[in-house]
Structure 1
């Protein structure tokens, strides 16, 4: 019952967050349809997916204009799979914030969550993301002209 309440509250928070921040629904994708909005500007990762895990933050856009932000997770450790978690991405000091819904992944599967942004940001601003269950694995990319 408690888990169901948490999921319902989490879903409500995501809906409200999407309305406030202009975010769109989470995308759980694999393969060639990863983050297909805009030009790939940066993909910064922590870890090593071939050995154990990787977490990557993806930014698509041109110059200071950000079209899309995404966060991926890939694990090759049987003990970590299957997993269920949600991703969090921020631009600047939470000037723009996105939180995905819960997604589930399997061993060796690369999962991506993200949202369309369509805004300009200041030169040098950081885009950082992490999965809630892996807070210390937080890659960052820098927006620049």
Structure 2
């Protein structure tokens, strides 16, 4: 019996971590397109703490998006037009998932003002939300990627 790659191209299976480590990438923006073995780790505490089982679809989708964006290591933000085009989920799903993660203390959001074209930084009309995973959604030291 031979284990084959899940892509169906009839090549032998390789661990994603091994394949990813062997690949040289010119930039992170094209990483997924140039390397089909790109992956991210899911913290074990999400499984052992029962969070994965407790999440609804929107909560799980937002958790996976934030893990892929490495929001446990740095705050991330998404443009309102870019987000649905990139992840193919609705604004309602995004909102519901975000609120669910916040309720479980897995996500912290911070609203920061954006400068207006006239230069007024304190204009409350334009804001950006920064997302940062915390608690069980952050990789432990022994789970950190190399």
More strand as a share of residues: 1
**What TM-score range do you get, normalising by the shorter chain?**
under 0.3
Q: TM-score, normalised by structure 1?
A: 0.23
